[in-house]
Copies of this chain bind each other. A is one copy, B any other.
Amino acid sequence: MSRLEEKTIKTEKIFSGKVISLQVEDVELPNGKTSKREIIKHPGAVAVLAVTDDNKIVMVEQYRKALDKVIAEIPAGKLEPGEDPEVCAERELEEETGYGCKEMDWLISFYTSPGFADELVHLYIAKGLEKKEDAASPDEDEFVNLMEVTLDEALALLEGQKIHDAKTAYAVQYLQLQEALKK
């Protein structure tokens, strides 16, 4: 088993924005040579697989500038500084969909792009959904359409690449697995 770690020799901060920051690190490789690593820092995020009492998945249809495309995703959002992921999951679910929930359980946390970014997504499953009095109220620069779809409909959306992101693909496959395990 060889040593794999890379030691940072120098860090150059390139950009600090409202969502991400970028730095380039000069690193010493395991063989003593040097290389550069381009690294995006991200505050981390939560995503919520919210399932209604009649077994529908709550999704938000949303334009993503990075993709120049409207896709359907499970509700998600960035962590505020110091925010507990479960609290964030409840907040994002209510802000984007208007739903509160009786149960919010952690499923998995994964890094989305370990090659260049430290973004960690915490995925939760929400059940016992209840519409709150007030409607959904996304961030002021966030525009979404709500959808509620069956598992079969979600699989068709995946097939048509309307669902097209890793966290949502994982969440839909999770439900498929639960269905298969029931049989």
Q: Which residue on B lies nearest to A27, using beta carbons? A: B65
B165 A110 Cβ-Cβ under 8 A: yes
**Within 8 Å of chain B (Cβ to Cβ): is A70?**
yes
Cβ contacts under 8 Å, A71 to chain B:
111, 114
Listed A/B pairs (14) with beta-carbon separation below 8 Å = A4-B143, A22-B22, A29-B141, A39-B66, A40-B40, A40-B117, A66-B111, A71-B111, A109-B161, A110-B164, A112-B166, A166-B166, A170-B173, A180-B181
A21's closest neighbor in chain B, by CB?
A: B38
Whole-angstrom distance between the Cβ of A48 and the nearest chain B Cβ: 15
Partner of A35, one of B35, B39, B141: B141
Decide yes or no whether A36 CB sits under 8 A from chain B. Answer: yes
Binary per-residue interface labels of chain A (106-127) against chain B in the complex, 1 for a CB within 8 Å, 0 otherwise: 0011111111111101000000
Q: Are A113 and B117 also in contact (CB < 8 A) when A61-B4, A180-B177 are? A: yes
Residues of B close to A116: CB separation below 8 A: 19-20, 40, 42, 66
The number of chain A residues with a CB under 8 A from chain B is: 73
Extra contacts, 10 of them, besides A64-B114, A117-B117 (Cβ < 8 A), are A18-B38, A30-B143, A39-B65, A42-B116, A71-B111, A73-B114, A112-B113, A166-B170, A173-B173, A173-B177
Known contacts: A1-B145, A110-B166. The answer to whether A117 contacts B66 by CB under 8 A is yes
